[in-house]
């Protein structure tokens, strides 16, 4: 076994142990998320082994964000009240050291969300995750989308993601191939992981993208690094999606069986076969 | 083949082509809908082949309503903010020519919703859809209901619907038999289509009515006429419901399998057998 | 047959008749509930045989709470607007004699919810239901929780529940063993029913707790006493959960099949085997 192989083997073992810790510790994940998928995201967290708390009352979020094991902020359906809650929650998380994930849903198409996202980023999210258009929209060059779906492939956003590593420890770009970027400890540029897999049914069921943000938050509570958290979350979602696809008859049954699979899936095979360590 | 048969045959071919265009073009449907069924409605649109965008932030809706392919406004859970958003969105849609659907959920029982609906109607919806009590409540004579379920059969609302054709190009009354009214080009009164079908499970799963409004909006983006859009939406929903009923074990599995069927159902048989062209 | 056995037999017959009346009358249940589970709770009520109405607009709730057959107030995701609506709805219900259920979700962990709950209790709920921590938090001694899950077993909350019977006619504590307390007519302390059953999947699907509050409200509309309503609701939920567990493959399919079972389950066996009348 070469040193590189050995490191890879050890990394996989560490990721599997991280997955085990999620189920064992059931971290409390505070979610400020959107009204469309809030039920589904809560069920995703419960199925994966975490404990969700979904309040967005401005007077409740500071206390909860400070004491929760992780925080998710998802911009899918902002309101004046929920944006105020997001600001207070992200600041409380930053003060208390609660790791948090920013999911700038729709930021590529809707300027209000881009502005809110940029402001929230001053509270130092551990991870920013989105599709390629959303990630690109957060850099100066920007990008324009339509609705909440991406107009770009994940690799188009690699430069933008590398720039954003100045403001977050990890960037996750979801797409046909997911790209996960973490800071290198050796200053040789970002560590980039490519992860191919999942199911074509995922974009046909609302909330599967939002679920990735929630899963990253859950894993941040038990992982050694933000990169580990992103890999575990994306591998967990993709492995479960591949299993669900085997018996799903359409987008409705896919979403249901995906929840079943999030509960029971074993990540060993997936991490052995699919994880490309660049 | 008589001339009437020929026209009917051509119409069916046109409706099937409209269904094909929905899947091919995946129109962006902006929904200002209610908090109870927003997740389900998004999944219905995705399953049927459209692309949903559900924001109701007052500062976002004008831009989205102006650029979306269609707009749905559903009054299921109004709030001060969402009503303001509905007003801005409907006006933007009217200015930009975005076709839009009004679904006055609960207007028969709750005066606030009737008042809001009447005001929104000044922005010229392409289609108004509801159950018989809701449609009747929008005319001067009015009608009274309790909760959000109808107290009337669809045929009771035919006169009210004909009157409302002065304010919308199409009126869809859902019920055991759906009644779909479009403007005639020959000034001989409205064209009325009766469509019987679907499943008794539909009213037992929340959101199946809201889904009709969303599907009509989606089809407005690809149909030649509002009447075609209403027929396609109701036929699509009913054909999928009949297929779902074959394997459903209750209201929970019905809703899931209905989503599966919305994705895969073929409308040919349904349009041949059930469509009564009066 | 002893007198005690006879009374028990008659009670069971009365409970089965109450279940029958729910399906027959389809009571209108007004729900002021949380954004996470509002869709699921509506589907639970429809599956069980009731008719849900979910508006929380402050200007609509008074009229609806006064005319509905029962009211549920669930504190899962409070907002300034929804708290105002809860206050108006509970007062209207109290004035009109509409029986109502208070579900103080999260009151053990989040002081705002405890304060709102205590204020709402001045409008005399028929039943207060929650997990042990939530019930304990409503008494002076209080209790502290984290998130929305309980830190206590149901029996820990029996003293607190007995105290709360001064402010409500029934207290339901959900847990591995449910404890249901009603006022005794003979002044010999509360009547306490223990009910063991259900499925370990229930806490793994969001909304199964909220569903209990909604079911109690529905049964209050057709039951002879609040205690009967609580027993029917908990038995209905547990019997359906046990049936769902037989074919569920995980938390996603469990929730779907549970809805199916709520529609079709027969309570005869469950009420014969499990109901412990202390």
Q: What is the pLDDT of residues A144-159, one digit of tens each?
A: 556 666 778 888 899 9
- What pLDDT sits at residue A142? 58
CA distance B148 to chain C (A): 7
Q: What is the pLDDT of residues A221-274, one digit of tens each?
A: 999 999 999 999 999 999 999 999 999 999 999 999 999 999 999 999 899 888
Q: Is B185 helix (H, G, I), strand (E, B) or coil?
A: coil
Backbone angles phi and psi of A70, in degrees to 5: -165, 165
Decide: residue A3, CB within 10 A, 0-12 exposed, 13-18 middle, 19+ buried. Answer: exposed
Distance (Å, whole) CA C188 – CA B27: 67
What percentage of residues in chain B have a pLDDT greater than 90? 83
Distance (Å, whole) CA C211 – CA A149: 34
Q: How far is CA C112 from CA A125, A163, B242, C75, C102, in A?
A: 27, 41, 47, 10, 15
Of C35, C67, C257, the CB nearest to B35: C35
Q: What is the pLDDT of residues C61-115, one digit of tens each?
A: 999 999 999 999 999 999 999 999 999 999 999 999 999 999 999 999 999 999 9
User: Which residue of C lies nearest to B38 if distances are taken between CA atoms?
Assistant: C39
Q: What is the pLDDT of residues A75-93, one digit of tens each?
A: 999 999 999 999 999 999 9
Query: Does A129 count as an annotated binding residue?
Result: yes
Domains along chain C? 3-277 (3.40.1190.20)
Report whether pLDDT(C19) > 90.
Answer: yes
A278 vs B261: which has the higher pLDDT? B261
Confidence of residue B44 (pLDDT cuts 50, 70, 90): very high
Chain C contact for A38 (CB, 8 A cutoff): yes
**Yes or no, beta carbons of A36 and B35 under 8 Å apart:** no
Chains contacting C (3 or more CB pairs within 8 Å): A, B
Q: What is the pLDDT of residues B134-173, one digit of tens each?
A: 999 999 765 555 666 677 888 889 999 999 999 999 999 9
Of B106, B149, B252, the CB nearest to C257: B252
Report whether pLDDT(C239) > 80.
Answer: yes
Q: What is the pLDDT of residues C37-49, one digit of tens each?
A: 999 999 999 999 9
- What pLDDT sits at residue B148? 65
Chain B contact for C258 (CB, 8 A cutoff): yes
Say which residues have a Cβ less than 8 Å from residue C150's Cβ, sequence separation at least 6: C108, C131, C132, C133, C134, C175
Chain B contact for C39 (CB, 8 A cutoff): yes
Of A42, A67, A264, the CB nearest to C250: A264
- Least reliable range by pLDDT among A137-146, A168-177, A184-193: A137-146
Distance (Å, whole) CA C193 – CA C215: 17
Residues of B in contact with A39 (CB under 8 A): 39
CA distance B36 to chain C (A): 5
pTM for this predicted structure: 0.95
Confidence of residue B126 (pLDDT cuts 50, 70, 90): very high
C-beta of residue C117 within 8 angstroms of C-beta of residue C141: no
Listed residue (A107, A151, A112) closest to A129, CA to CA: A107
**Yes or no, beta carbons of C57 and B79 under 8 Å apart:** yes
Q: What is the pLDDT of residues B232-264, one digit of tens each?
A: 999 999 999 999 999 999 999 999 999 999 999
- What pLDDT sits at residue C132? 95
Instruction: Work out the average pLDDT over A40-52.
Output: 98
Backbone angles phi and psi of A267, in degrees to 5: -90, -5
Distance (Å, whole) CA C233 – CA C229: 6
Chain A contact for B264 (CB, 8 A cutoff): yes
What percentage of residues in chain A have a pLDDT greater than 70? 93
Q: Which of A251, A257, A258 to mutate to test the interface with B (most CBs of B within 10 A)?
A: A251
């Amino acid at each position: 076994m070469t040193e590189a192989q050995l490191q890879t083997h050890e990394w996989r073992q560490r990721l599997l142990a991280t997955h085990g810790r999620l189920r064992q510790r059931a971290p409390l994940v505070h979610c400020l998320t959107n009204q469309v998928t809030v039920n589904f995201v809560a069920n995703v967290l419960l199925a994966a082994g975490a404990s969700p708390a979904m309040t967005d009352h401005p007077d409740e979020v500071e206390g909860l964000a400070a004491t929760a094991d992780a925080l998710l902020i998802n911009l899918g359906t902002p309101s004046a009240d929920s944006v105020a809650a997001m600001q207070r929650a992200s600041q409380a998380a930053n003060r208390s050291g609660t790791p948090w994930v920013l999911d700038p849903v729709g930021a590529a198409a809707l300027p209000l969300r881009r502005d809110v996202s940029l402001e929230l980023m001053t509270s130092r999210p551990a991870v920013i995750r989105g599709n390629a258009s959303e990630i690109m929209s957060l850099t100066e060059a920007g990008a324009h989308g339509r609705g909440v779906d991406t107009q770009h492939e994940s690799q188009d956003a690699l430069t933008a993601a590398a720039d954003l590593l100045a403001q977050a420890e990890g960037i996750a770009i979801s797409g046909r191939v997911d790209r996960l970027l973490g800071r290198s400890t050796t200053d040789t540029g970002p560590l980039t992981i490519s992860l191919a897999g999942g199911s074509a049914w995922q974009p046909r069921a609302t909330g599967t993208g939002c679920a990735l943000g929630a899963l990253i938050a859950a894993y941040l509570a038990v992982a050694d690094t933000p990169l580990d958290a992103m890999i575990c979350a994306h591998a967990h979602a993709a492995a479960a999606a591949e299993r669900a696809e085997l018996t799903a008859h359409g987008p409705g049954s896919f979403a249901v069986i995906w929840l079943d699979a999030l509960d029971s899936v074993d990540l060993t095979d997936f991490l052995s076969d699919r994880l490309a360590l660049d």
